[in-house]
Structure 1
Amino acid sequence: MRGYCGQNNEGRSYHKSCLKCLVNFKTAALLHRISQSVTPQVSPSTFLAVIFVSVQLFSILSAILALLEERVLRRLLPSQPNAHIYLPHLKEHEGSLKPIVHLGQRRTGVSLVLGVPTVHRQKQSYLVNTLQSLLYDLSTAERKDIVIVVFVAEVTIYFLPDAVRSGVIEVISPSPHYYPDFSILKETFGDPKERVRWRTKQNLDYSFLMLYAQSKGTYYVQLEDDIVAKQGFFQSMKKYIEQVLSEEWLFLEFSQLGFIGKLFRTSDLPMIVEFFLMFHKDKPIDWLLDHILWVKVCNPEKDLKHCNNEKARLKRAYKPSLFQHVGLHSSLPGKIQNLKDKDFGNQVLFKGHYNPPAELSSSIEKYLSHTLERAYNGDDFFWGLTPKRRDYILITFTTPQAVKGYFFRSGNIETNGDRFYNTTVEVLPNNVSNSVKEKVTRGELACCKTSSDGFVQIGSFKNGMAEGEVDGALGEIVAMRLLVHSDSDVWVLLSEVNHINIIYK
C-alpha cells in the first residue's frame, strides 16, 4: 500500500494517511479561496462567519473521514468481538490477540477449517492418532480444500512434516498474555476451583481458535484431540451442507458428544465468540452454546417444549455420527471419561476393489484368517507379523496387464500404526525393449529405478500409502511387488489394493 495520497495496488482503498491528507488538502484549498475572495470592504463579522462555516465544514469532513476509515478497516481486517471488554487485562499487552503460528503455510479459502485444541495430558496423548485419523483417506483434492488448525500451549510437535509443508496442518498458540489470572475465579455450580479453571481456560482456548479460523474458510468444525474420524467424513459433510444450505440453522452436529463435530459458518463466529467471551467465567462452553440458541429463539412466555422445538430448528443432527471420542484420560487431571457416541457405528477397516486374476504370494506370515487373497479380492484386510528386510508381497497376473496406475494403503483406522515402512513398489515388465532398459539403467526414465532381478522400482510407501502411475513406456506388466528394505518394529496391515484403469486381458 502506498504511503502517499492515492489508491493502493488493487485500487480499492486509501491508506489511512491518504484520507487525512485528502481532507486537509480540500480544507486548505477552501480556506485559501475564502481568503482570496475577502476584500477590505468585507466587515469583520462577515469574515468571522465565513471562517465559522469553514470550521464546521472541516468537522463534517473529519467525521466522514472517520466513517471511511472504519469501513476500510472492517474490510481489511477479520471481524473481532470486543475482547478487551471481557478480558480487560489484554489492554496492557498490545497484540495479545495475535496468534503465534509455529507451523503451517497460512492457507485460506478452503471449504472446511477443522479446529483441534490440545493440551498436555498426564497419562496419555491422543493428538497424533487424531490427526492421522483425519488425514487417513483424504484425496489429493480434499487435502487442498481443508485446513486443520491445532491449538497448543506447549509446542513440542515435530510430526507429520509432509502435512505441515503442504498446508493441510497448521499449529498455533496464543500470546502468553492472552490468559487472565485464573486464581481469582469464583467457584460456581458446586465445581471445585481446579475444574472452574479448566472449563474457563477451555472457553478461552475455543474462542481463540475460532477467531483465528474465521478468515480461513467457509465453515468451521470444532473437534477435540482425542477423536477418530469416519472414512469419507469430508465428502459426507459437504453433501449434507449442500442439502441444508438454503435452510436456517446456526450449527450442524456431526457427533452427539459435547462440542465434538459442531460445524458453524465462519461468518457466524464473531457473534458466537463474543457470547463465549462475555460469559467465559460462568459456564462450560457446551452450556453457553445452548444458551445462544435460547436467546435467539425461545419465548419466555412459552413452555419448555416449545423452546426445545424452536432450538431444534437451529441445530441439525447428522446421522450416523462422523466422529467418535476415544480418549479415556481427560485433560482435567484425574478425570476418567469413557464416553462413546452410540450413533457412530462401526469403522470401515478395509476397502475392496475389483482386481484382475492373479497368483499371490508373500514371505510375511499372516495373522489368523487375514490372508493376502482375501485382501486382494476385497473381502478383508491382510494382517501380517513383523516384516523383515527383503520380505515381500508378490502379485503375479494370470496374463500380462496394461496397468495405468496403482494404490496401496497400509494400516486402517483402528490399527493405523501397522504400516509398510521403507517399502517400495516394483513392477516386472513383460517384454520391455532394450532401449527402455537402457534408459532406466541410465536414470533417463524419471519414473523408475532398476532392480537386480529384472523388476523396476516405480514408487514407495509414504505415510502408509503408495500411489502413482505406471509409465506407458514399460508396456504390459507381468507382476507387481512390494519389497521391504529394512526390519520393521510393528506388524503390517494391508487394507486396500487397487490397480487403476487396467485394460483387462
Structure 2
Amino acid sequence: MLGIMHWSFRRYIIILAGSGLLWFLISLRTPKINEDTYHLETKRSLHQKFSSKSEKYLQGNSYNVLSRMSHLTYQYLVGALPLKKKILTVGLSSMQSPTGIYLVKTLRSVFKVSSKNELRHITVLVHLADSDPDWLNETVSIIISHFTSQILQGQLLVIHAPSAAYQHLWYQPYKVFNFSDIKTFQSKQMLDYAFLMSFAANLSEYFLMIEDNIRSTRHFVTTLQQELEARKDVPWTIMDSANHGLVGKLCHSRDLPKLAGFLLLFYQDKSPDLLLLHFRILQGQKDPIHIRPLLFYHFDSPSSFSPHDFHICEDPDNEKFEEDSFDIPDNPPAVVYTNMQTLHNHLAQNAYSLDETFFLTPNALPGHQLTVILDKGVNVIRVQVLTGTAIEKLQSLEEGKVELGSNPTGESKHCTKYTFLGQLWDGQLDCRMKHRQTGHNVSCVRLVVTGPKDNSWVMVRHINIWVNHEE
C-alpha cells in the first residue's frame, strides 16, 4: 500500500513538472499565439453573432434585410445615372443637422480641387437621408442652384432612400433626432451609408466614402489613382485616406453589397471604425493601408484650412480674399524668367508689373515655370498670384502651384532650393505668411504648371509680393 502511494506521488510530481515545463514553453510563444489567434477569434465571434442576428433578420421574407435591399426603389432627386461605368464614385450621406449646413461646401470642395480630366472619371453620389419633405425640397433647390453645370455633365447624382427601407430597423422619428447621443447618431449614419452603398454598387470600379462636412485636398482623385496603380497586384479590401469613422475609406465597388449588408446587421453593435475593421479582417486584409498625406479633413478641424503650418492661403470664395485690395503690393526690383512661349506684346515681365499689362502664353504645359528672381533676398509676408481675365476668369491656369526660392547662385541668381507655398484655386492664390521663417530671405517666387489644360492659352495678370520693411 505504501509502495502504491509512493508511486502515485512520484507520478503526480512528474505530471506537475511536465505541466509546468509545458506552460513555460507555451508562455514563451504567447505574443505570437495571441497575434495569430486574434483574427481567428474575431472571425469566430463575428460569425456567431452574425448567425444569431441572421436568425432575427433573415427569417421570413419580411425581415430579409439583404434581399430587401436589392429590391429598393430609390427616388432620384437630382441628376441621372451615368451613361457608362466610371472609375470612382465619391459617396456621402446627409440629413438635417442643428450644427449648420456644410453639404454645399463639401460638394464645392470636391469639384473645385478636381481638374476637368479628373471629373470625367468620377460620380459624386449624395444620399439625402431625411424624410422631412420641406428639408428635402429646400436642399434639392440649393444643390441645383449651385451645381447646375456638374448635374448637366453627369458628375452629380442625388438620391433618397424611401422610408420603407428603414422599416423594422429604425424607430426614432427624424424630426426629433438626438444628435447629442453619439451612439444613436452613428447607428443612423451606418444605416444611411448602407443604403448609399447598395445603390452605388454598379456605378464604378471603386467607391470612396466621405461625410457631408468634409474639405478635400487638391487632386485627391489623382492621388487615389496613383495608390491604386501602385497596389494593382496586391489584394486589399479597404484603404484609408483620413483619420476616423467613414471618412476617406476607399473600397472595391464589388464589395459594396456585402459591406452594406454587414452594416445593416451590426449597425447597433459597434462604432463605424470597429465595424470597418472587422469587415476588413473578415475579408482577409490583416493590416491597415494608410494613404499619406491625408486627403480629407473636417471643416471644423484646423487642418482643413491650414494643412501646412507655415502659411495661410485664402480660398478665392472666401470673403477675406481681396483681389482689388487697396493694400498696394511692394514688388521689389526683380527680373522674370520663363520657359513658356512668349508673345511680343505680352512678355513675362508684365506679370510682375503693377500696371494693367499681363503675360500671355499659348502653350502652358506641365513643368513650365514663370520665375520672379529678386535683386536681393527679402522677407516676404504675402504672395498673390492672379491668372485669367478679371471677370470671366478666361485663360486662367487651373492646375498650378507657387513656390518660394532661396540659395541664389550664379550671375542670374537662380534659386537652388524651393519650398511649396500653395496650390492655385480657380486660377488664383493669396498667401499670408503665418510664421516669419517661411518668408525669410526669399530670393525667388516661382509659378509652376502642374497639369494639362484643354485650352493651353494662359494669362498671368499679376504676381504680387508684399515684404516686411521693419526687419
Q: If the length of structure 2 is used for normalisation, what is the TM-score?
A: 0.52
Asked if the contact 1:93–1:177 (Cα under 8 Å) also holds between the matched residues in 2, the reply is no
Aligned partner (choices 458, 481, 495) of residue 429 of structure 2? 495
Q: Provide the rounded CA distance (Å) in 1 between the counterparts of 2:324 and 2:185.
A: 48
- Whether the 8 Å CA contact 1:214–1:267 is kept in 2: the answer is yes
| Equivalent residue, structure 2, for 1:325 | 298
Structure 2 counterpart SS, 1:113: strand
Give the structure 1 partner of residue 166 of structure 2.
Answer: 179
Counterpart residue number, 2:421: none
**Pairwise CA distance, 1:366:** 4.4
Match of 2:123? 147
Aligned-residue offset at 1:500: 4.4
**CA distance change for structure 1 residues 274 and 93 in 2, over 3 Å: closer, same or farther?**
closer
Q: Return the alpha-carbon distance in structure 2 between the equivalents of residues 425 and 243 of structure 1.
A: 39
CA spacing shift, 1:112–1:266, aligned 2, 3 Å? same
| 8 Å Cα contact 1:150/1:171 also seen in 2 | yes
Q: Post-superposition shift, 1:273?
A: 1.5
Distance apart, 1:200 and its partner CA: 2.2
CA positional deviation for 1:176: 2.1
Q: Which amino acid aligns with 1:231?
A: R
User: Which is richer in strand?
Assistant: 2
2:298 is aligned with what amino acid?
Answer: H
Q: 1:418-433 counterparts in 2 under 5 A? A: 425=389
Q: Mark the structure with the bigger radius of gyration.
A: 1
Would you say the 8 A contact 1:320–1:344 is kept in 2? no
State which of 212, 221, 231 in structure 2 corresponds to 1:225.
212
SS at match of 1:129: helix
Match of residue 86 from structure 2: 110
- Tell me how far 1:213 sits from its aligned partner: 1.1
Deviation at 1:295, TM superposition (A): 3.4
Q: 1:130 Cα shift?
A: 1.0
Q: Which residue of 2 aligns with 1:365?
A: 325
Q: Which residue type is aligned with residue 172 of structure 1?
A: I
* Alignment equivalent of 1:460, drawn from 392, 400, 403: 392
* Matched residue type, 1:494: Q
On the 8 A contact 2:90/2:207 being kept in 1, the answer is yes
TM-score, structure 1 as length reference:
0.49
- 1:277 equivalent to 2:264? Answer yes
Q: How far 1:285 sits from its partner (Å)?
A: 2.4
Taking the aligned partners of 1:141 and 1:501, their CA distance within structure 2 comes to: 17
Q: CA deviation at 1:171?
A: 0.7
How far did residue 196 of structure 1 move?
4.3
SS at match of 1:460: coil
Change (3 A) 1:145 1:119: same
Gaps of 5+ in 1: 1-80, 186-190, 298-309, 328-337, 352-361, 379-392, 407-419, 427-458, 469-491
Shift of residue 204 of structure 1?
1.1
Would you say the 8 A contact 2:88–2:205 is kept in 1? yes
* Mapping for residues 350-499 of structure 1, pairs under 5 Å: 364-367=324-327, 395-397=356-358, 403=362, 425=389, 460-461=392-393, 494-495=428-429
CA deviations 1:133-170 (Å, max 9, x no partner) are: 11113222211111110111342233211111111111
When residues 161 and 502 of structure 1 are mapped into structure 2, their CA distance, relative to the original with a 3 A threshold, is closer
Return the alpha-carbon distance in structure 1 between the equivalents of residues 330 and 62 of structure 2.
61
1 CA distance for matches of 2:202 and 2:210?
A: 18
Residues in 2 aligned to 1:345 and 1:363: alpha-carbon distance in whole angstroms: 23
Per the alignment, residue 214 of structure 1 pairs with 201
- How many residue pairs get aligned? The number is 297
**Percent of aligned positions that are identical:** 20
**1:340 shift after superposition:** 6.0
Gaps of 5+ in 2: 1-53, 173-177, 316-321, 339-353, 366-385, 399-425, 431-446, 450-454, 460-471
Secondary structure of the corresponding residue to residue 151 of structure 1: strand
Q: Report deviation, 1:404.
A: 6.1
- What value does the CA root-mean-square deviation take over the aligned residues? 4.9
Distance in 2 between residues matched to 1:116 and 1:289, nearest whole Å: 16
Q: Which residue of structure 2 aligns with residue 389 of structure 1? A: none
Distance 1:284 1:130, change over 3 A: same
